[in-house]
Amino acid sequence: MSPTVLSCDKKLTYNVQPCLLRLIATLWYNMVMQKILEIKNLSYKYDGESDIYAVNDVSFDILRGEWVSIIGRNGSGKSTTARLIDGLMAASSGQIIIDGKQLTEENVWELRQKIGMVFQNPDNQFVGSTVEDDVAFGMENQGVPRVEMLSRVEAALARVDMSEFKTKEPARLSGGQKQRVAIAGIVALRPDIIILDEATSMLDPKGRLAIVDVVREIKEQFDLTVISITHDLDEASLSDKIIVMKDGQIEQIAKPSQLFLNNNLVEIGLDVPFSANVANDLRQAGLDIPETYYTESELADFLCQSILTK
């Protein structure tokens, strides 16, 4: 074999291998870690005349099956971002790609079916005169056949533990029960993404936890992607990643453990959770505490166990 041919072969081998690897990695990524939502340079202003953007050049990706929290001060653009994703308003500029399709004026109704939103105030989201009518409402709009609709209403109400209230008036329910019914209405529509916009903020801590638990179970059962806008950092600490917004922009995207270790949360306008502060101080004092986020009771358990096993 002549030297020229050899070098040519070598070149080919060197060029083809990384290329093949990249191809395999891309295929694997698309198959296993599929992006369900891509936000590219998204901007929005409520007043066309003004130069103040409520959402200003925001970009992020969300993978299928992820639980993502969006946190940030009031007015930082979280709800506006959610409304843009749900097609309730059209972006001033930028792209929203849902399950591989770019959101446009033409396909907004089709793509909205992939998304279910639960809002902060449960009273503003009821349309039906009974709980079951309310859960059925979205399906009626989508033209789901009646028999199918009835069975989905039953299943969705059972899923959120509200079957016994199906003939009741929504107005008579407690805040937590109303949010359960709102979630049932969404589950019945079989979306890919559920967006909770401070959906638990009007509930007491017990009610909050119950809703988060229901959403978590539903997420697992239906392979849902969850985007939760929340002020509850204990809830956010359980998510796969946290997006921090500030003044209409993305301040940071991080895993909860990274975010809570990093004390600039105060600059962002958020309080560092008490347990994260204690854990950070103990680490600085030389205690060997894993770099993960603990809620107060988890930290107490960890400390008791590490003391007991010494």
Provide the binding-site residues for ligand ADP, judged by CB under 6 A. 46, 54, 72, 74-80
- Cα Rg of the chain (Å, integer): 23
Residue 128 binding result from Mg ion, ligand ADP, none, given CB thresholds of 5 to 8 Å by partner type? none
Asked if 230 interacts with Mg ion (CB under 5 A), we say no
Asked if 228 interacts with Mg ion (CB under 5 A), we say no
Task: Give min distance, CB of 163 to ligand ADP, in A.
Answer: 33
Span near Mg ion by CB under 5 A; candidates 61-69, 71-79, 138-146, 239-247: 71-79
Task: Give min distance, CB of 199 to Mg ion, in A.
Answer: 11
Check if the beta carbon of residue 186 is closer than 8 Å to that of residue 118: yes
Residue 80 binding result from ligand ADP, Mg ion, none, given CB thresholds of 5 to 8 Å by partner type? ligand ADP
Helix H or strand E encompassing 254: strand 249-254
Residue 43 binding result from Mg ion, ligand ADP, none, given CB thresholds of 5 to 8 Å by partner type? none
Beta strands, E only, 24-84: 35-44, 55-63, 67-71
CA terminus-to-terminus distance, the chain: 68
Q: CB within 8 A of 91, min separation 6: which ones?
A: 42, 43, 44, 55, 84
* Selected binder of Mg ion within 56, 76, 79, 177 (CB under 5 A): 79
**Separation CA 283–CA 272 (nearest Å):** 16
CB atoms within 10 A of CB 163: 16
Nearer to ligand ADP, 24 or 52 (CB): 52
Task: Give min distance, CB of 290 to ligand ADP, in A.
Answer: 32
Judge residue 83's burial from the number of C-beta atoms within 10 Å of its C-beta, 0-12 exposed, 13-18 middle, 19 or more buried. middle
Nearer to ligand ADP, 229 or 299 (CB): 229
Asked if 69 interacts with Mg ion (CB under 5 A), we say no
Nearer to Mg ion, 192 or 198 (CB): 198
Span near Mg ion by CB under 5 A; candidates 28-36, 72-80, 184-192, 257-265: 72-80
Cross-strand partners of 310: none
